[in-house]
Structure 1
Amino acid sequence: MREIKTADDRVLAVEEWGVLDGVPVLYAHGTPMSRLARYPDDTLFTELGVRLVTYDRPGFGASTLNSGRCVHDAAEDIATIADELGLDRFPLFGVSGGGPHALAFAARFPERVTRVATLASPAPCDAEGLDWTAGMMEANRKSSVAALRGRGALAALFAEEDAESESPATLLPPAEQAVLARPEVQRMLGAAFAEAVRPGMDGWIDDEFALYGLPWGFDPAGITTPARVWHGAQDTVIPVSHARWLAGRIPTATLIEDGEAGHAGHFAATPAMLRWLITGD
């Protein structure tokens, strides 16, 4: 782990995987995860010659809390990490709750992004014309309703449900369990989740509040970088309607729908997406 200081004296915890002199790719983890979240077989990064850079968003793992943050604030954090690591232009992608944070950087720093991708990403909570909770599992629906009432209401919901006692597997619907039962996925998710909530729940609450209760702070329509938006049509964690909205809003986006996949289908989709990110193929 590497600790990088921000201009406002916060710490961002960074981890690197794969080939350290390889093609740099930045990854934004899901919610609630940490810098330890990634594709569960690290040989993928070495086979592709990828230097994967992951980091804890504020309040997760070893990164300093940043109360009141919105999705757009991730852009400056990613820029700080890239500057410290000597990265000029690079591709990046985000899974689930990390998707909007990857898009934030592409919107703010288009000159530094070669390609950007999201997998199973939500759309903004104020997305025009989108019924945000339609087809969504009950836990996320309840969180979104609470977040729209304010961070305090969301924190109260977390306290009521004692979310910290959950495991990554129990947070997702039964349809996702076949993927989550794979030993390598269990090991990776267990470690990534434990690290995410190690300092407490505030990072998780802030992340959900930024995703479910606040405007993102940028318009995806302004993204000019080549983009791909992947989503499983059977996803009830974040319904596929979110991906359709994003792909329709981002002028450079290509939508990829997997008719058989749910939320955890992003694991199977990651190798092809990584190849596109580094080669355009």
Structure 2
Amino acid sequence: MSHQSDMTAPRAIGLPDARTLSYAEYGGPAGAPILFFHGFPASHKEAALWHEAAVRHSARLIAPDRPGIGLSSYHSGRRFLHWPSDVAHLTRQLRIDACHILATAGGSPYALACLHEFRRDSSAGEEPSTNLTVRIKGTAIVSGIYPLSLPGPGPSGIQLSTRIALWIVGHIWFLIVPLLEWFMGTPARQNPQLFMSRMMREAESRPIVDKMCLADKAYGSGFIESTKHVFARDARGAAYEAGLMGRPWGFELDDIDAGGVSIWQGGFDAACPVAMARRAHGHLKGSILKVFEYEGHLSLPARRQDEILKAMIYG
């Protein structure tokens, strides 16, 4: 891999409510700014997997850790629509008035929340709830997740057992904190080998294309490192974020101006099924859907980075 400069070292900004937002940057420091919203469970270190491609395409990836993830402060009672305010403060601190958004998997609700807030209809006299503005030039959602209640024709592709589990976690997320801390949090901080073995055991149920990505030494170690950093402090942030996925999101996809939004989905994606992406595409007016039938949840963002960044930056 090419040399990663000091720009990749974690930094932080203070927020008005005294919380800290941690972030790091990857790619070219003078490149086109792209906000990188990591997946779940993942952290800003997921963007390190995109560093090489970002350098090739002169992209500057700015990757914040969401509240309670990594070294970002926990935010009690937060919702998806709280995130745009944090993002706006970050972009103002970095003196960025226009950028792209690249969201993977569990980062998609946060990307959509930003589009909902930053692209409100100014002709109707509405102002973004953040009282801060940043212009979103384009958004790529890769292996994204969408609301479980999203209406549409045909099956969503999400198993009933998964729907039930997400609903339960959404309402009693606090009960899984001790379990998540025992299973992943403590090993992440104290026993890296145990943490890795548990992560690899979970990967056994993934499609072969995703297993091949994890078998790659560079990608596999980067993936593990990103997940491990989630629990840098404790498991509370990860448990709360899991709960958000199973609750109402607080906004409707139909209300979003999705011009400039591209949806990238793999046909072998069992975690975020392509059927759900098709439904979301139908509700996101102006979006473009790109389906890669032989890619999985991990292989798509792992193997299509150049294609995704090229489409974002050069149109």
Alpha-carbon separation, structure 1, partners of 2:109 and 2:252: 11
Q: Tell me whether 1:113 sits opposite 2:113 in the alignment.
A: no
1:92–1:113 Cα contact (<8 Å) kept: yes
Q: TM-score, normalised by structure 2?
A: 0.81
Residues 193-221 of structure 1: CA distance to partner in whole angstroms, max 9, x if unpaired? 11111211111111111112x22122222
**2:7 corresponds to:** none
Partners of 1:91 and 1:114 within 8 A in 2? yes
**Contact in 1 for aligned 2:37/2:64 (Cα 8 Å):** yes
Change in Cα spacing, 1:122 to 1:41, as seen in structure 2 (3 Å) is: closer
Q: Which moved more, 1:190-199 or 1:122-131?
A: 122-131
Code of the aligned partner of 1:171? E
Flag the 1:131–1:10 CA change in 2: closer, same or farther, 3 A: farther
Q: Alpha carbons of 1:39 and 1:255: their partners in 2 closer, same or farther (altered >3 Å)?
A: farther
1:180 to 211, 214, 226: 214
Structure 2 residues without counterparts, runs of 5 or longer: 1-9, 120-133, 188-194
The separation in 2 between residues aligned to 1:109 and 1:144, in whole angstroms, is: 28
Q: What displacement does 1:30 show?
A: 0.5
2:131 alignment partner in structure 1:
none
Q: CA deviation at 1:15?
A: 0.4
| Contact persistence 1:12–1:57 (CA under 8 A) | yes
4+ long deviations beyond 6 Å: 130-133
Pairwise CA distance, 1:82: 0.8
Q: How many residues align?
A: 277
Q: Hey, what does 1:16 align to over in structure 2?
A: 25
Distance of aligned partners of 1:137 and 1:274 in 2 relative to their CA distance in 1, 3 Å threshold: farther
State percent identity of aligned pairs.
Answer: 23
Could you say what secondary structure the match of 2:304 adopts? Answer: helix
Partner of 1:267 in structure 2? 302
Instruction: Tell me: CA distance 1:21–1:206, structure 2 relative to 1, closer, same or farther (3 Å).
Output: same
Q: Is the 8 A contact 1:92 1:117 kept in 2?
A: yes
Distance 1:133 1:222, change over 3 A: closer
C-alpha contact (below 8 Å) 1:133/1:141 kept by paired residues: no
Residue 249 (structure 1) aligned to one of 283, 291, 297: 283
Per-residue deviation, residues 156-184 of structure 1 (Å, max 9, x unmatched): 7646x834455444334332211111111
Letter in 1 for 2:22: A
Are the aligned partners of 1:71 and 1:100 in contact in 2 as well (CA < 8 Å)?
A: yes
Range with greater deviation from structure 2 (172-181 or 129-138)? 129-138
- What letter is aligned with 1:107? H
Tell which structure's C-alpha radius of gyration is larger: 2
Cα separation, 2, equivalents of 1:91 and 1:258: 22
1:225-244 matches, cutoff 5 A: 225-244=259-278
The structure-2 alpha-carbon separation of the partners of 1:46 and 1:33, relative to structure 1 and needing over 3 Å to count, comes to: same
Work out the CA distance in 1 between the residues paired with 2:105 and 2:153.
18
Query: 1:137 touches 1:237 (CA, 8 Å); kept in 2?
Result: no
Please tell me whether residue 47 in structure 1 is matched to residue 56 in structure 2: yes
Residue 123 to residue 44, structure 1, CA distance change in 2 (3 Å): same
Query: 2:251 is matched with which residue?
Result: 218
Indicate the SS of the match to 1:42: helix
Displacement after TM superposition at 1:55 (Å)? 0.9
Q: Secondary structure at the match of 1:174?
A: coil
1:246, distance to aligned residue in structure 2 (A): 1.3
Partner of 2:46, secondary structure, is coil
Query: Are the aligned partners of 1:29 and 1:54 in contact in 2 as well (CA < 8 Å)?
Result: yes
For residues 101 and 260 of structure 1, the distance between their equivalents in structure 2, rounded to whole angstroms, comes to 27
Residue 3 of structure 1 corresponds to which residue in structure 2?
12
Structure 1 pair 141–184 and aligned structure 2 pair: CA distance change class (3 A): farther
- 2:98 corresponds to 1:76: no
1:222: how far off?
A: 2.4
8 Å CA contact 1:90, 1:115 repeated in 2: yes
**In 2, distance between residues paired with 1:130 and 1:208?**
26
Question: Which amino acid letter does the alignment assign opposite residue 31 of structure 1?
Answer: F
Tell me, what secondary structure is at the counterpart of 1:13? strand
**Kept after mapping to 1: 8 A contact 2:109/2:145:** yes
Describe the shift of the 1:187–1:90 C-alpha distance in structure 2 as closer, same or farther (beyond 3 A).
same
Q: Where does the alignment leave 5 or more consecutive residues of structure 1 unmatched?
A: none
CA 1:244–1:41: 2 relative to 1, 3 Å? closer
Counterpart in the other structure of 2:191: none
Aligned residues of 1:223 and 1:252 also touching (Cα < 8 A)? no
Cα distance in 2 between the residues matched to 1:8 and 1:238: 34
Q: Name the structure 2 match of 1:171.
A: 202
Output the aligned Cα RMSD: 2.4
